[in-house]
């Protein structure tokens, strides 16, 4: 895998759940940028299978996670989202060669940026999956929901 050599970030493992209960201060908002080649297809398959998902997650279709820049992630957080995640193709299976790896680099950059201003890095994450892997998409969504629900609402000044 080329990722280890070139990216500073790490793909989150959707199966590892955060288990803390949600703080009772209203429902969170999570923006998910989904690659049209994989995660968005997995999301559609999830919908067709009528698998229940948390209502906190709102999807934004992108052609490739490589299209998503720090600007988009930071804008989402600035404008009201409590968490942002990218869902792209499996490492080595990007339909545009290495778009997902570029995205991973940028996510790592945004995480460092957030930490430097005192915002929890786990508010921004990246997951990978194949178009066929609806269960992995569900797990990623639920994990993101659990993680963000366990954190307080993102304060803005």
Partner 1 sequence: MCGTEGRRRIERAVQSRGLDHIVIGACSRRVQGPTFERIARELRLGENAVAFANLREGCSFVHRDEPAKAQKKAETILAASVARAAQQSDLKRSRTFLQRSAVVVGGGIGGMSAAEELADAGIEVHLVERQQSLGGYMARLSKTFPTEDCAMCSLAPRLANAATDSRIHVHTLSEVTAVSGPPGELRVRVLHRPSFVSERCVACGRCTSACPVELESDFDFGMAKRKAIGRPFANAVPAGFVIDFRGEAPCRSACPVHTAVQGVVALVAQGRTGDAYELASRENPFPSVCGRICPHDCETECTRGRVDEAVAIAGIGRFIADQVESAKPVAVPTAVYSVRAAVVGAGPAGLTAARELARFGYHVTVFEAQPEAGGALRFVIPEFRLPRELLAAEVARVLAHGVELKAGQRCGADFTVDSLLAAGFQAVLLAVGLQRAGSVPLAASGRPGLATAVELLRSQALGEPIPVGRHVVVVGGGDDAFDAARTCLRLGAESATVACPEDAAELRAEADLVAEALEEGVEVEGGLSAFEIVGAGAVSAVRFRKGPAGETVELPADCVVLATEREIDEEFLSGAPGVRVVAGQIVVDRATMMTERPGVFAAGDAAATGPATPIEAIAAGRRAARSIHNYLRGEDWAEVWEPARPTAEVADADLSTGKPEWRQPMPVAAGPGRRRSWAEVRLGFTADDAVAEARRCVACGGCSECRSCETVCPAHAIDFDQEPWEEELTVGAMVIATGHREFDARRKPPLGYGRYANVITQSQLARLVSASGPTGGELRRPSDGAVPKRIFMLQCVGSRDQTSRGNTHCSAICCLFATVHASLIKQEHPDCEVTIGYTDLRAPGKAHEEYYRLVSTRGVRYVRTRFGELIEEPDKSLRVRFEDTVTGTKAEELFDLVVLSVGLEGSDGTTQIARVAGLQQDAAGFLKEYHPKLRPVDSQRAGIFLAGTAQGPKNIPDTIAQAKAAAARVMSMLSSGFLMTPAEVAWSDPAVCIGCGVCENVCPQGAVHVVDDGIAHAVVESESCRGCGICVAECPSGAMTLGGFSDAEILAEVTARA
- Contacts to partner 1 by CB under 8 A: 27, 29, 31, 36-38, 40-41, 43-44, 46-48, 50-53, 55, 58-64, 66-69, 71-72, 75-77, 79-81, 94-99, 102, 106, 130-133
* Nearest distance, CB of residue 10 and partner 1, angstroms: 20
Are 56 and 29 in contact by the 8 Å Cβ rule? The answer is yes
For partner 1, the closer CB: 12 or 57? 57
Q: Using an 8 Å Cβ cutoff, are 8 and 105 in contact?
A: yes
> In 87-108, which positions are buried (b, 16+ CB within 10 angstroms) versus exposed (e)?
bbbbbeebbeebbbbbbbbbbb
Within 1-133, residue ranges assigned H as helices are 3-6, 39-48, 70-78, 99-116
Nearer to partner 1, 3 or 130 (CB): 130
Give min distance, CB of 60 to partner 1, in A.
6
State the CB neighbour count (10 A cutoff) for residue 43. 24
Closest distance of CB 101 from partner 1, Å:
10
Q: How far is the CB of 128 from partner 1 (least distance, A)?
A: 14
């Amino acid at each position: 895998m080329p990722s280890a050599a070139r990216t500073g970030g790490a793909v989150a493992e959707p199966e590892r759940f955060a288990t803390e209960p949600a703080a009772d201060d209203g429902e969170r908002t999570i923006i998910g940028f989904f690659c049209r080649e994989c995660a968005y297809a997995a999301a559609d398959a999830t919908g067709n299978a009528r698998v229940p998902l948390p209502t906190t997650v709102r999807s934004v279709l992108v052609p490739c996670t490589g299209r998503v820049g720090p600007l988009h992630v930071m804008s989402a957080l600035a404008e009201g989202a409590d968490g942002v995640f990218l869902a792209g193709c499996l490492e080595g299976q990007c339909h545009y060669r290495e778009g997902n790896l570029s995205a991973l680099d940028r996510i790592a950059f945004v995480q460092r940026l957030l930490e430097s201003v005192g915002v929890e890095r786990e508010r921004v994450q990246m997951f990978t999956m194949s178009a066929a892997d609806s269960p992995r998409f569900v797990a990623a969504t639920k994990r993101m929901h659990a993680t963000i629900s366990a954190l307080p609402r993102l304060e803005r000044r």
